[in-house]
Each structure stands twice: as structure tokens, then as C-alpha cells.
């Protein structure tokens, strides 16, 4: 999406959870609420936080407003537009079709979209890894006047094909939602069904993701939070420009809940849809961003800062770029690097404890099952 709506949805901290859970002490839950409170008060965060802890019950709690005009508050089952997390589903669909022998990452786009300019040079791998040279449509001047009108993936492909490439395919990397829209069109052509139907039948239904769907379908979505752009005080947010969700197909059109996203992350780690370790996706898979605040056993934040990001498997399964528009806090003075990408980091709410743990065992526990995983220090630096 051209911007991540300020009503940030479904931030998840995922840690393997034991089957038999014990009740968390109230102080731990209160510590989470107290830590998040300043960001909610500054309108820097609004959404649902889900935490799964080893041997203990999960914590899921909602903060902020789902619809300011109606005064509707977020709930733990509120649905959110998940923006670029959609790309993880698009790339997973490509991996599933690849494993079934329906396509290869080395196949050219022209094989599936006949007549597409440069279709003999651009491969599926180029689109997945943002190295195709196809320009990001959000940056194109005529998009602003077109986005209020519905489009189809075929129409999108015809339109984006009229634009010159930003660079030769494979020459360098530049984030492009256009590439994932083209991948969605490839999925439609190969599977012989609409993109949203493929996801519904092959992903959402098998995994039991009943609260996840596609906004581009045009169907009314119950309990969907309204997204907002940054705005001027006192509200600090404003309604985004009107647009048709059909423009987001494949790159930012899905909605979900925190619980469904936890199901999605576990399904990937457990190879339920395809064998992650054998999916020859571009860019080494296995490095993940972990979202949320880390707390020590006493319920205190162990790093005195809040990271809101999303679990993803690097560019092979979707990629979320860093920019001011994507920041969690408008007041952030710092940014970390995690898994090779810049991660927005909110300004410290309190002074860091002197005895901060040296590494996040939870992060390693979540990500170690993935091949190619590089251990990451608590401060975000990658170990050799």
C-alpha cells in the first residue's frame, strides 16, 4: 500500500506455547498495558496485541479505536487490513504452485501473461524478490487519478506494462507492489480461478482462518477496523484518500485478525501448506521480524522499547519496506536492522534496565526451525 494506515492492525509477538498453560500473574498483563498506553494516548498505536508464552496462557488484548466516527473500540477479534502482509500469502501461493509442478521460479512472466512488455526477461523470481524493474505503481502520477475506480488484474497488467522499467531485470532491487499484483495475476492464470478464491480454498479454509479474507471482493466485512493516515493535532490522524481495494490485489488487499495471523505463522513454521525448507524461493528464507515488546520474568520490559513489526520470511514470502510513513511512532529517533531490513523502533518510554538480557531466546525459539536462520542479538545485530 502507498502508506500503512495509522490504525495499525494486529501486532503479534509469537512464542511457542505449550498445550497445558498456567495463568499469568496480573502484574505481567498490567505491565503490557502500561507499556503500550503512551503510544495509544499519542495515537501512535491502535490495534490488537497477541503474545504466546512458553508454558503459560496466551495474552491477547486490544487497544485504541476501530472507528473514530462511530466511537467503536478495538476488540480482540477485530479484523484489520493487513497491508503488505498480503505479500506473504501471495508468495506462499506461488511456492505451493511451484511444489505442485505448475510453474518454476525461472519461468518468465511472458509464459503466463502473453504479450507483457519485457515478459521474456522478467522471471517469477524477479517479481518475488523485487528485482524485476517493474515500477511501484504507487509512485506513478496517473495512479492518483485512477485509484478510485475498480480494476482487474488483467487491466492492471496491461496498464503497468505501458510503463518503462526502472532498471533491467535482475540488475538491482527496488520495492514494487506492482510485482506482487503481477504474481497474483500469474496465480489466477495457472490455477484457473480468481486469486481470492485460490487463497480461500487452498489457504484460509484448510488452516481454519475464518476471519481472514480479501477486501478486493467488495463484500461487506463485519468488525473491520477503519484505517487512518497520520494527521495534524489534536487527533493526529485523518481519513485516507478514497481508493478501490481492487488496486491492492496481491500486494495489500487482505484483512485478518491477530489470532488468524498467529495461525498463519505457525502453519509456515510447521510446513503445513508447502515444505518451506525445499521451496527454492529467492533470498535466503528463515529470517524473521518479531513484533511486540519483550518482558522479563518480573513483567518489566527488558529493552524499554516497543517494536511493532510482523513475522515474515524475508523477501521470499513478502517484504515490508521502511519509511517514515511505515513508522510505528512519528517521534521515533532510532531504527534497528533485523534480518537485513530496517525496523521502525519507537522512542524509549523509560530508561533501559541495567541488567537487560543479552539475547531474545523467544526469537530464536520461533525462528530456529527455519533453514538459514541467523541468530540475532537483542540489540538487532546479526551474529556471524
Q: How confident is the model at residue 26 (pLDDT cuts 50, 70, 90)?
A: low
Max avg pLDDT among 222-236, 286-300, 350-364, 366-380:
222-236
pLDDT value of residue 226: 93
Q: From start to end of the chain, where are the E strands?
A: 11-13, 47-51, 59-63, 65-67, 72-73, 80-81, 213-214, 229-230, 237-238, 254-256, 334-338, 341-345
Specify whether 181 is located in the same domain as 226: no
- Assess contact for 295 and 382: CB atoms under 8 A: no
Neighbours of 26 (CB within 10 A): 9
Percent of the residues in the chain that have a pLDDT greater than 90, as a whole number: 51
* pLDDT per position as a tens digit, 44-70: 889 999 987 767 667 889 999 999 999
Structural domains in the chain (count): 2
DSSP string computed for 226-282: PP-EE--TTT-EEPPPP--GGGGTTTT-EEE-HHHHHHHHHHHHTTSSS-GGG---S
pLDDT value of residue 269: 85
Q: When comparing pLDDT for 333 and 166, which is higher?
A: 166
- pLDDT for residue 33 is more than 90: no
Specify whether 96 is located in the same domain as 63: no
Specify whether 161 is located in the same domain as 119: yes
- Assess contact for 265 and 257: CB atoms under 8 A: no
pLDDT value of residue 197: 98
- Assess contact for 354 and 304: CB atoms under 8 A: no
Specify whether 67 is located in the same domain as 188: no
Q: Domain limits at 340?
A: 11-83+216-230+255-313+320-367
Q: From start to end of 54-180, where are the E strands?
A: 59-63, 65-67, 72-73, 80-81
Output the nine-digit C-alpha cell for 55. Answer: 508454558
pLDDT value of residue 277: 66
* pLDDT per position as a tens digit, 208-253: 999 999 999 999 999 999 998 888 888 888 998 999 999 999 999 9
Asked if residue 306 is part of any domain, the answer here is: yes
What is the Cα–Cα distance from 124 to 134, expressed in whole angstroms? 12
Asked if residue 248 is part of any domain, the answer here is: no
Specify whether 25 is located in the same domain as 122: no
* Total residues belonging to the chain: 384
Tell if the pTM clears 0.85, that is, is over it: no
Asked if residue 259 is part of any domain, the answer here is: yes
Q: How confident is the model at residue 141 (pLDDT cuts 50, 70, 90)?
A: very high
Percent of the residues in the chain that have a pLDDT greater than 70, as a whole number: 64
Q: How confident is the model at residue 188 (pLDDT cuts 50, 70, 90)?
A: very high
- pLDDT for residue 318 is more than 50: no
Asked if residue 289 is part of any domain, the answer here is: yes
What is the Cα–Cα distance from 126 to 134, expressed in whole angstroms? 10
What is the Cα–Cα distance from 259 to 317, expressed in whole angstroms? 19
Chain centroid to CA 29: 25
Segment among 203-217, 246-260, 328-342 with least mean pLDDT: 328-342
pLDDT value of residue 144: 93
Neighbours of 241 (CB within 10 A): 11
Q: Write the CATH number for 149.
A: 3.40.710.10
Asked if residue 277 is part of any domain, the answer here is: yes
Asked if residue 62 is part of any domain, the answer here is: yes
Segment among 15-19, 50-54, 64-68, 195-199 with least mean pLDDT: 15-19
- Identify which of 349, 370, 346, 374 has the alpha carbon closest to the alpha carbon of residue 359: 374
Q: When comparing pLDDT for 265 and 214, which is higher?
A: 214
Q: List own/partner pairs for 144-152 with CB under 8 A and 24 or more apart.
A: 144/241, 146/247, 147/241, 147/242, 147/243, 147/244, 147/247, 148/242, 148/243, 148/244, 149/244, 150/218, 150/244, 150/246, 151/244, 151/246, 151/247, 152/246
Specify whether 60 is located in the same domain as 94: no
Tell me the three state secondary structure of residue 74: coil
Amino acid at each position: 500500500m502507498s502508506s500503512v494506515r495509522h490504525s495499525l492492525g494486529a501486532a503479534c509477538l509469537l512464542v511457542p506455547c505449550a498445550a497445558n498453560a498456567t495463568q499469568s500473574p496480573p502484574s505481567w498483563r498490567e505491565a503490557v498495558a502500561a507499556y503500550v498506553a503512551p503510544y495509544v494516548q499519542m495515537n501512535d498505536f491502535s490495534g490488537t496485541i497477541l503474545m504466546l508464552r512458553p508454558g503459560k496462557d496466551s495474552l491477547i488484548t486490544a487497544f485504541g479505536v476501530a472507528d473514530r466516527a462511530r466511537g467503536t473500540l478495538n476488540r480482540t477479534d477485530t479484523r484489520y487490513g493487513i497491508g503488505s502482509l498480503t505479500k506473504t500469502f501471495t508468495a506462499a501461493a506461488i511456492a505451493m504452485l511451484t511444489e505442485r509442478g505448475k510453474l518454476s521460479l525461472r519461468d518468465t512472466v511472458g509464459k503466463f501473461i502473453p504479450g507483457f512488455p519485457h515478459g521474456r526477461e522478467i522471471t517469477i523470481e524477479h517479481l518475488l524478490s523485487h528485482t524485476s524493474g517493474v515500477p511501484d505503481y504507487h509512485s506513478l502520477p496517473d495512479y492518483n487519478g485512477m485509484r478510485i475506480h475498480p480494476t482487474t488484474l488483467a487491466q492492471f497488467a496491461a496498464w503497468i506494462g505501458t510503463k518503462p522499467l526502472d532498471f533491467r531485470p535482475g540488475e538491482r532491487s527496488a520495492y514494487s507492489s506492482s510485482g506482487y499484483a503481477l504474481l497474483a495475476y500469474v496465480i489466477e492464470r495457472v490455477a484457473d480461478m480468481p486469486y481470492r478464491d485460490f487463497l480461500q480454498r487452498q489457504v484460509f479454509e484448510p488452516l481454519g482462518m475464518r476471519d481472514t479474507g480479501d477486501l478486493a471482493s467488495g463484500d461487506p466485512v463485519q468488525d473491520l477496523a477503519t484505517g487512518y493516515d497520520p494527521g495534524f493535532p489534536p487527533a493526529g490522524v485523518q481519513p485516507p484518500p478514497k481508493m478501490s481495494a481492487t488496486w491492492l490485489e496481491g500486494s495489500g488487499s487482505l484483512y485478518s485478525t491477530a489470532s488468524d495471523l498467529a495461525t498463519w505463522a505457525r502453519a509456515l513454521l510447521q510446513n503445513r501448506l508447502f515444505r518451506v525448507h525445499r521451496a527454492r524461493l529467492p533470498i535466503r528464507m528463515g529470517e524473521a521480524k518479531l513484533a511486540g515488546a519483550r518482558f522479563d520474568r518480573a513483567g518489566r520490559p527488558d529493552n524499554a522499547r516497543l517494536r511493532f513489526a510482523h513475522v515474515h520470511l524475508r523477501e521470499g514470502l513478502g517484504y515490508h519496506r521502511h519509511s517514515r510513513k511505515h513508522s510505528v511512532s512519528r517521534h521515533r529517533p532510532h531504527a534497528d536492522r533485523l534480518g537485513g531490513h530496517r525496523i521502525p523502533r519507537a522512542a524509549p518510554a523509560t530508561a533501559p534496565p541495567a541488567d537487560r538480557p543479552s539475547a531474545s531466546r523467544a526469537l530464536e525459539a520461533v525462528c530456529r526451525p527455519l533453514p538459514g536462520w541467523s541468530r540475532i542479538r537483542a540489540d538487532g545485530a546479526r551474529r556471524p
